[in-house]
Chain A
Amino acid sequence: MTRTTATGSIALAVVLLFTLGTLAAVFWRAEGLSGFGTADWAALRFSVVQATLSATLSILFAVPLARAIARRRFRGRGLLILLLGAPFILPTIVAVFGLISVFGRSGIVSDLLRLVGLEPISIYGFHGVVLAHVFFNLPLATRLVLQGWLAIPSERFRLAASLGFGPRDIARTLERPMLREVLPGTFLVIFLLCLTSFAVALALGGGPKATTIELAIYQAFNLEFDLGKAALLALVQFALGLAVALVALKVALPSGIGAGLDRSVTRWDAQTQMLRAVDAALISAATVFLVLPMAMIALDGVPRLFSLPASIWWATLRSLGVALASVLVTLALGFPIAALAVKRRGRLVEGIGSITLAASPLVIGTGLFVILFPLTDPFALALPVTALVNAVMSLPFALRALVPALGQIEADYGRLADGLGMTGMARFRHLWLPRLRRPLGFTMGLSAALSMGDLGVIALFAAPDAPTLPLQIYRLMAAYRMPDAAGGALILLASSLALFWLFDRGGRADADA
C-alpha cells in the first residue's frame, strides 16, 4: 500500500505545483508588485458585484422553478431535467453565441422590440455578463434545489395533507427548513463559478465597467505584458478564491451529481387552478430561456456547416486532441489522489485536490508562461499546456465522482481483496477498474467536454496559427464573421455533447450490478 502513498503524493505535488507553484513563479518574475490602481479596484468590485448578483438571481428564479418541477408531472419532465444538466458541459463561447442571437442588437428580442417601435437592446456590458451567468447557473441551482425538495420524505407531505396544511403551512414547516440548508451551499458554488469567470467577461464584458479580475490578468499579461500587475491581480484572485473556499468548508457544499431526480412529489395542497397556471408558466418560460439560444445556434449554424473554412476543421481536430489528452491527465492525477484519499480517510487530501476549484486558470497559465519562457517557446507548447491546465481544473469534479465510489468499493470488497492478496496492479485491474466503470465514464466524459469547450489558458498562449475551436470561434466573432462562427459553434456544441455522451455511455454499457 506504500505505492498508493507514493503515487498519490506525486499527483498531489503536481497539483500543488500547478496551483501554488505557478503563483510563486508569477511573483518571482514580477520583481515586486505594481500599485493597485483605479482600474484594478474596478475589476475587483465588478467581479464581486456581478458574482453576487448572478448567484442571487439564479437562486431567486431557481427556487420557484424547482418547486414547480418537484410537484408537477408533465410530458418531457425527464427531458427538462436532463436539459438542466447540459449547461455544465456546454462550452461557454457556444452559450454566449446563442445568447447574442437571442438578446443581441440583431437578435430575436431586439427584432421584436423594433416591430413595436422600441429601441433594440444590447447584450454587452454588466447586464450581459450577469445574463450569461444566470443562463449557466440557473439550471445548476435548479437541480440542486430540486434535489433538496425530493429529499423531503413523501410521508411528510402525506402527513401535511392529512392535517389539512395549506401551501403556507407546508412552506413554513417543510420547505423553508430545507431551503435554509440547501441555499447557502448553492449560492457559494455559483458565486465561486462566477467569480473566476473569464470567457463570458472576455466575450460580453470588457472596458473599465465590465472587467473581471481574470480578464484583467489576461489584459495585463497579453496587452501590456505587465507581469507586476498580473502578479498582483493573481494574488487578489487567489485570496478571493481561497476566502470563499474557506467559507465553503463551513457550509456543506451540494454534490451536484444528483441521481433519482425523476421522481415527483404528490402535493395535495397545490391542486388549485391558480397554482397550476403559475407552475406551467414558470416551467415554460425556463424551457424557452434555456432552449432558445441553443436552437438559434442550430438554426444559424446548419446552413454554413458544409461551406466552413478549413481552419475550423483543423481547430476541431486540435481541440479533440487537447480534450483526449486532458482526459488522460485527469485520470493520471485523479486516480492516485482518490486512492490516497480513500486510504487516509482524511478530508485533507481531497481538500488539496480541490484547491483548484478556487485557483484560476489564468493565474496558472501566467505562471506556466514565465516558467517556460526562459526554457523554450511557450507558444509552441500552447496545446499541451492547455490540456494540462484543463485536466487540473476538472480534477475537483473527478474527485467528487471517484472518491465516494472508491470508498464504497473498499468498504464492500477491501477485506476480501486484502485476504486474497490482491495488491498493486491486480487490485487495480480486477477490482477498481471494473467496479469504477460508471464514475470513470462520467469523469472522462466531463473532463473531455470541459476541455473541449474551454476558452481560458489557450487565449493567453494564443498561437496565431494554431487555435483551438473555442478560440477560433471567439476570433471569428471578434471579426464579425458571424455565419462562420455559428457553424463553428454548432460543431463545438455537437462534439462536446458527443464526447460526454460517448464516455458516459461507455461506463454504463454492460456494467455488472
Chain B
Amino acid sequence: MLTLETTIRNGDFALRADLSVATGRRVAVIGPSGSGKSTLLAGIAGFLDASGRIAWDGRDLAPLPPAARPVSMIFQDNNLFPHLTAAQNVALGLRPNLRLSRVEETRVDEALAHVGLAGLGARKPGQLSGGQAARVALARVLVRDQPILLLDEPFGALGPALRDEMLDLVAQLARETRATLLMVSHEPDDARRIADEVILVADGTAYPPVVTAEIFANPPEALRDYLGD
C-alpha cells in the first residue's frame, strides 16, 4: 500500500496529499492543468522535496534517492536517450553502466519481444515511430520490475487509436507485474478505460481515490468545473 501524508513543494507551489492507494490498484490522476498532478508524481518519485511521510508498505521513502525508490516512471517526453539503441535504453533499467551479463541481455531481448519490438533492439529512437518509442519505455518498466509505476501523461503525442493501444498495454503490464499504477491524464476517457480509481487534484490538494464509475457519475465541484458539463 502506498501511503501519502505529505506536502510536496515545487518552487512556490505546495501540494497537500493525505491519501493511500491499495497495492495493485490502477489509479488515474486528473485535474485542471497547473493543479499539481505532475507535482504529485514527482514527489512520489523523489524529484521534489516533500515533508511528512511517503511510505510504501510501511517503509518511509523520504530518505531514498529516486533510483533507490520502488518506482518506475515514464515522463511526458524524453523517456529515451536518443544516442543509445532501443536495447541499451532498456538495459539501463537493469544496469545504469550498461555492463550486462548474458542472462540480463536475454531479459532485455525478452522484454522488447514482450512489448512487440522483437528484432528492433539495435535501432536508435530516431529510427522508431512514436508508438514504438513508447513501447521501448514500457519494456524498460518491465525489466525494472518495480512495484509502483508512475506515468506522467506519457502518450500525449500519440493519435487516439495508438493511445488506446498503449493504455491497454500499460494495463496488461501492470496486471502482469502486479504493479500499483498512478497515471496522470487530462483525458477522462483514459481514466474510464484503464483506471479502477481516480485521484482528483485541485486547489493545492490531492484528494483520496474514488472508484472511477462513481466519481464520474457524481463529480465533485472541482471536477465538474474541469470537465465543463
User: Of all chain B residues, which has the CB nearest A434?
Assistant: B83
Pairwise interchain contact B79-A416, C-beta atoms closer than 8 A: yes
Which residue of chain A is the closest to B67 with respect to CB atoms? A421
Enumerate chain A residues within 8 angstroms of B79, measured Cβ to Cβ: 416
Chain A, range 381-433, C-beta contacts under 8 Å to B: 412-413, 415-416, 418-423, 425-427, 429-431
Residues of B within 8 A of A430 (CB): 81, 84, 88, 92, 96-98
Is B124's CB within 8 Å of the partner chain A? yes
Given A422-B92, A426-B98, decide whether A416 and B78 contact each other with a Cβ distance below 8 A: yes
* Chain B positions within 8 Å of A426 at CB level: 96-98
List B contacts of A427 (CB < 8 A).
Answer: 96
**Residue total for A at the interface (Cβ-Cβ under 8 A):** 21
Chain A min CB distance to B214 (Å): 33
Interface centre among B46, B71, B72, B78 (most CB of A within 10 A): B78
How many Å lie between the Cα of A425 and that of B98 in the bound state? 11
The proximity string for B residues 89-124 relative to A, scoring 1 for CB distances below 8 Å and 0 otherwise, is 000110011100000000000000000000000001
Which applies to chain B's interface (DSSP): helix, strand, loop or mixed?
Answer: loop
Question: Given A419-B66, A420-B93, A423-B96, are A513 and B82 neighbors across the interface (CB < 8 Å)?
Answer: yes
**Could you tell me the distance in whole angstroms from the C-beta of A430 to the nearest C-beta in chain B?**
6
Q: Find chain B residues with CB under 8 A from A434 CB.
A: 81, 83-84
Chain B, Cβ-Cβ closest to A433: B83
Q: List B contacts of A419 (CB < 8 A).
A: 45, 47, 66-67, 71-73
- Residues of B48-82 contacting chain A, CB below 8 A: 65-68, 71-73, 75, 78-79, 81-82
CB distance from B37 to the nearest CB of A (A): 16
Q: Please name all residues of chain A whose beta carbon is closer than 8 Å to the beta carbon of B156 when the two chains form the complex.
A: none
| Residue among B47, B82, B98 making CB contact with A512, cutoff 8 Å | B82
- List of A residues within 8 angstroms of B71 by Cβ: 419
Which residues of B163-204 are within 8 A (CB) of A?
Answer: none
Number of interface residues of B (CB under 8 A): 26
Task: How many A-B residue pairs have C-beta atoms within 8 angstroms? Tell me.
Answer: 65
Known: A415-B75, A419-B71, A421-B68. A512 touches B83 (CB 8 A): yes
Considering the complex, which residues of chain B in the window 132-187 have a beta carbon less than 8 Å from any beta carbon of chain A? none
Q: Are A415 and B66 in contact (CB under 8 A)?
A: yes
Cβ–Cβ < 8 Å partners of B67 in chain A = 418-423
Determine whether A77 belongs to the interface, using a CB cutoff of 8 Å to chain B. Answer: no
Find out whether the CB atom of A512 lies under 8 angstroms from the CB atom of B124. yes
- Please indicate the chain B residues that have their CB under 8 angstroms from the CB of A418 in the complex: 46-47, 65-67
Q: Is A435 an interface residue (CB 8 A)?
A: yes
Closest to A412 in B: B78
Closest-CB distance, B29 to chain A (whole angstroms): 17
A412 nearest CB across to chain B (Å): 5
Residues facing B in A419-473 (CB within 8 A) are 419-423, 425-427, 429-431, 434-435
B126→A512 contact, CB < 8 A:
yes
Rounded to whole angstroms, the CA-CA distance of A427 and B97 in the bound complex is 8
CB-CB under 8 A from B66, the residues of chain A are 415, 418-419, 421
Q: Do residues B96 and A420 form an inter-chain contact, with CB atoms below 8 A?
A: yes
**Inter-subunit contact B73/A425 (CB<8 Å):** no
Q: State A61–B134 Cα separation when bound (angstroms).
A: 54
What is the CA–CA distance of A416 and B140 in the complex, to the nearest angstrom? 12
In the bound complex, how far is the Cα of B84 from the Cα of A415, in angstroms? Answer: 17
| Distance in Å: Cβ of B34 to nearest Cβ of chain A | 19
Supplied contacts A426-B97, A435-B81, 11 more A-B pairs, CB within 8 Å: A418-B66, A419-B72, A419-B73, A421-B66, A422-B67, A422-B92, A423-B96, A427-B96, A430-B92, A431-B81, A512-B124
**Chain A residues engaging chain B, CB cutoff 8 angstroms:** 412-413, 415-416, 418-423, 425-427, 429-431, 434-435, 511-513
Which residues of B are interface residues toward A (Cβ below 8 A)?
42, 45-47, 65-68, 71-73, 75, 78-79, 81-84, 88, 92-93, 96-98, 124, 126
A-B contact pairs, 13 of them (CB 8 A): A413-B81, A415-B73, A416-B78, A418-B46, A418-B67, A419-B73, A423-B67, A427-B96, A430-B92, A434-B83, A434-B84, A511-B83, A513-B82
